[in-house]
Structure 1
């Protein structure tokens, strides 16, 4: 049973508790007030349960996305559209989109408890680096939504990464990789391909191949889902994987690698 089916079944945000559970509970109650919830303890949702991790990831992604959209002082139409596109891109059901929008709106509020949300997110996901990386990649996408990546958004992402104990230099690599992948060119340039792989042109062929395989392993959809990525977000991981493969093919052709 998926985490969403469990929520629909009555467990609500109470299955994870804390600020993430509270926001999920508010979002659910606000959209489906006729449904009943069970706020009692359920041993099936003890820390480490995959459905619990998935619920925390979903709640964290969309609420922090709302926070990112507001950090420059305003929420642009393009940022709202981007959030909606991400939701639709995941092929979420109408019910899930309504809950995601509510979480996004909660993240925009002045009293949004970012530090508490991030700390719970880190604990609920068991500090799994692959999940945290995917979380940050989605937030980077949100920061770029209006076409402008300013200092306030950059600083906010660095603060979020620090709170999640994610290395800042790796965050900067993710930002460069995203910028290269969205350069606007129909065909990925060799320069951008290296950035997408997070690899220096000075590396030899073996090192390039090693960097490619490491990056591919970090974004393997099945592995991410097994670690707690909601299945609804698997499409994003699939697309990232294809992006990595395409960049590697560009480099292989340029170098004459086999």
Structure 2
């Protein structure tokens, strides 16, 4: 508040000495408040614009295996809190989710709509896909019909099937009860998933494995993503992703230690 007042006062003083200083200071405060309100309104409108495609696609995906489970509904509702939705936005999200479950819902059109309003920003596209995978894997598994639709959504966003598989592997790791830093023995599936999360071949050497892990952590660090425009309401999703990346790295390094 002081800085706009100072600048406005300085300009006013140059134009009208002391009276100009007072008028300029007041004008600076009013302008700063106006710009803050405009920015706040713009961010609210942007979030509301994302709600429709986000939750309608979620509803369609949850219905892919023929039934929407209570777990899937609870996960969908948990995003209301995580995204800090207002009561009006929650009502909008519920209506969108139900619309997505309808037989005449056009999934491809809605995905294309999100890609358009997001400006094709990779960060927002990846977070959108992460939300969808989280919703359909609420019961601890992604069914074949759900996977096929997730791949369809990913391709509509301009992403790959590999990115779907990496996110599915992350969610399996989360549902298995593993936590970052865990040293308990890994099953063959957990180890395979860990390599998939890290996006590396099991034959990779230790040095290149560490480089790949550090690169992945750097690309997905919440602070770096925030600097690139990630909404604060999505920070928790980014933090979850980095935890699962670290958990995958721990599984691989522990398995290698045990085998040596």
Bigger drift between 218-227 and 149-158 goes to 218-227
Pick aligned residue for 2:125 from 117, 120, 132: 132
Q: Indicate conservation of the 8 Å contact 1:54/1:229, yes or no.
A: no
Q: Distance in 2 between matches of 1:88 and 1:59?
A: 16
Q: Deviations over 1:78-132 (max 9, x none)?
A: 2111211232344544444333223222222233232222112112222222322
Q: Is the 8 A contact 2:142 2:168 kept in 1?
A: no
Q: Which runs of 5+ in 1 are unaligned?
A: 7-44
Counterparts of 1:200-239 in structure 2, within 5 Å, are 200-239=201-240
Query: Under a length normalisation based on structure 2, what TM-score does the superposition of the two structures give?
Result: 0.68
Q: Which has the higher contact order (CA 8 A, sep 6+)?
A: 1
Give the structure with the higher percent helix.
2
Q: Name the count of aligned residue pairs.
A: 214
1:68–1:153 Cα contact (<8 Å) kept? yes
Secondary structure, aligned partner of 2:246: helix
TM-score (norm 1): 0.68
Structure 2 counterparts to residues 1-258 of structure 1, below 5 A: 5-6=40-41, 54-185=47-178, 187=182, 189=186, 191=191, 192-252=193-253
Cα distance in 1 for residues equivalent to 2:250 and 2:58: 32
Contact 2:82 2:233 in 1 (8 A): no
Q: 1:226 to 1:126 in 2, by over 3 A?
A: farther
Query: For the residues of structure 1 that align with 2:103 and 2:128, how far apart are their CA atoms?
Result: 22
Contact 2:213 2:249 in 1 (8 A): yes
Q: 1:240 to 1:148 in 2, by over 3 A?
A: closer
Q: Is the Cα contact below 8 Å between 1:90 and 1:235 reproduced in 2?
A: no
Q: Distance in 1 between matches of 2:37 and 2:208?
A: 39
Compute the RMSD of aligned alpha carbons.
Answer: 3.1
Q: 1:100 to 1:249 in 2, by over 3 A?
A: same
Q: Which runs of 5+ in 2 are unaligned?
A: 1-35
Deviation at 1:64, TM superposition (A): 1.0
Q: CA deviation at 1:169?
A: 2.6
Classify the secondary structure of the residue corresponding to 2:139.
coil
Distance 1:61 1:176, change over 3 A: same
Return the index of the structure with the highest Cα Rg: 2
Contact 2:61 2:132 in 1 (8 A): yes
Structure 1 CA distance for aligned equivalents of residues 69 and 39 of structure 2: 30
1:231 to 1:124, Cα distance in 2 relative to 1, 3 A? same
